[in-house]
Copies of this chain bind each other. A is one copy, B any other.
């Protein structure tokens, strides 16, 4: 375990982000209480959406930070076609539709991360291009029935069956697609004085 000089708080319920932050061998707690309600004005440019969301989650954190605390929040969107933003699906039908759009195409996954303490605040984004092979309807059905990816932007988890069978290529960070760009989080924690 790497010694941390600060108390790190992860403001995210995503088990993947928890796994990635844990993989840095640092201790942290999870606290997702925020007054922020996910919303962005119509017409917001696609790449700006995750920044607004991650900022909102950070700014809406339910209490003032202590001086030795660092809060990390994040948001991921899938952008396909002409700036079409795919978030989490609201139904099975919507998930089928999303995976149909991704099938046989290359899409972009953008994650924004906000790191803040009482002294400073910064955000960064990371973008990865993901190419899916053509998915058969039976494969989409199998995946939705067995993995139920309804908590995931774009209706898929890169680290699950569908990522194994159908992602032929990535350009960028794999972990950005899985949860957040953990190499940039590591760097930010060093800049914030949390790690040597």
**A25-B161 contact, Cβ under 8 Å, with A2-B142, A183-B133:** yes
With contacts A146-B25, A183-B133 taken as known, whether A20 is within 8 angstroms of B164 at the C-beta atoms is yes
Interface size of A as a range: 20 to 34
In the assembled complex, A83 has its CB within 8 A of some CB on chain B: no
Inter-chain contact B23/A164, CB cutoff 8 Å: yes
> Does A174 sit within 8 A of B, measured CB to CB?
yes
CB-based contact A164/B186 at 8 Å: yes
User: Would A183 and B167 count as touching, CB distance under 8 A?
Assistant: yes
- In angstroms, how far is the closest chain B Cβ from the Cβ of A23? 5
Residues of B within 8 A of A164 (CB): 20, 23-24, 175, 182-183, 186
In the complex, what residues of B have CB within 8 A of residue A25's CB?
Answer: 146, 161
Is A105 interfacial (CB 8 A cutoff)?
Answer: no
18 sampled A-B residue pairs with Cβ under 8 A: A23-B164, A24-B161, A25-B146, A25-B161, A133-B183, A163-B175, A164-B175, A164-B183, A165-B186, A167-B173, A167-B174, A168-B173, A168-B183, A169-B172, A169-B173, A170-B173, A170-B174, A171-B171
10 extra A-B contacts, CB within 8 A, seeds A24-B165, A174-B174: A2-B142, A24-B164, A163-B175, A164-B175, A164-B183, A165-B182, A168-B183, A170-B170, A170-B171, A170-B173
CB distance from A138 to the nearest CB of B (A): 8
Q: Is A166 part of the contact surface with B, judged by Cβ < 8 Å?
A: yes
